[in-house]
């Protein structure tokens, strides 16, 4: 990133939806995270924006959207703690490793703290080494593995399973 360029981390507005969506399409392709149950689509943006627009941020560099962070808060019934869930964070390829992700993360964390969040949560694919390194650098630990299973419900697969029973 050019030293003179000004990075602005600001609220996402509806005018940014298309840019954020297309940047997410570049980042969260089907090979990005083949085993993740979440997929990137336009409803991710609108749903998170409707539920907590203060936790929807973009990074703008010289008038262009180069990154975003979308989060929400969760209050579990059996706990008095408020959790801050950082659902998506992404930086334009080519501008990664230049501190944009750090800027987005710092701001969303500050906003979550202001909202009374006591613990932040993220989830990503186990193969996403860059993402995991990034979150570790931000202080995340206590990595838990969770089991992910699929059941193919196509008629062909069901017939095959019956035959092998
Ligand atoms: C994860 C991501 C948002 C990080 O954004 P970024 O702007 O590249 O991050 P920063 O430049 O602020 O990096 C901060 C630190 O993260 C770690 N890091 C970031 N990218 C890394 C990479 N490719 N490999 C190893 N470590 C990396 C480093 O420790 C880095 O610190 P350093 O530069 O002092 O070594 C970006 O890589 C990305 O968009 N990835 C694809 C989408 C994704 O995986 N999102 C996370 C799950 S939703």
Two structure tokens written together for 163: 């035959």
- Determine phi and psi for 123, rounding to 5 degrees: -140, 145
Closest C-alpha among 66, 104, 59 to residue 86: 104
CATH class of 7-164: alpha beta
The CA-based angle 140-20-45, given to 5 degrees, is: 75
pLDDT truncated to tens, each residue of the chain (165 aa)? 665 678 999 999 999 999 999 999 999 987 766 556 678 999 999 999 999 999 999 999 999 999 999 999 999 878 889 999 999 999 999 999 999 999 999 999 999 999 999 999 999 888 899 999 999 999 999 888 777 777 889 888 888 888 887
Distance between CA 126 and CA 13 in Å, rounded?
Answer: 32
Residue 4: the pLDDT is: 67
Distance 102 CA to ligand 1 centre (A): 8
Residue 143: the pLDDT is: 87
Residue 1: the pLDDT is: 66
Q: Which ligand 1 atom lies nearest to the CA of residue 90?
A: 39
Spell out which residues line ligand 1, taking CB within 6 angstroms.
Answer: 27, 88-91, 96-102, 124, 128, 130-131, 133-134, 137
Q: Which ligand 1 atom lies nearest to the CA of residue 96?
A: 8
Residue 18: the pLDDT is: 98
Distance of CA 87 to the CA centre of its chain: 4
Closest residue to atom 40 of ligand 1, CA basis: 90
């Amino acid at each position: 990133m050019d030293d003179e360029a000004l990075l602005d981390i600001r609220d996402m507005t509806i005018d940014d939806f298309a840019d954020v969506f297309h940047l997410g399409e570049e980042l969260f392709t089907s090979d990005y995270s083949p085993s993740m149950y979440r997929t990137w689509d336009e409803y991710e943006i609108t749903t998170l924006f409707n539920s907590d627009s203060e936790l929807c941020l973009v990074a703008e560099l010289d008038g262009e959207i180069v990154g975003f962070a979308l989060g929400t808060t969760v209050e579990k019934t059996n706990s008095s703690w408020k959790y801050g869930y950082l659902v998506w964070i992404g930086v334009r390829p080519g501008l990664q490793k230049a501190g944009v992700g750090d800027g987005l993360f710092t701001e969303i964390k500050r906003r979550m703290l202001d909202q009374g969040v006591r613990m932040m949560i993220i989830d990503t694919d186990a193969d996403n080494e860059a993402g995991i390194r990034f979150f570790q650098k931000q202080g995340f630990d206590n990595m838990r593995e969770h089991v992910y299973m699929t059941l193919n419900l196509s008629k062909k697969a069901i017939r095959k399973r019956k035959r092998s029973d």
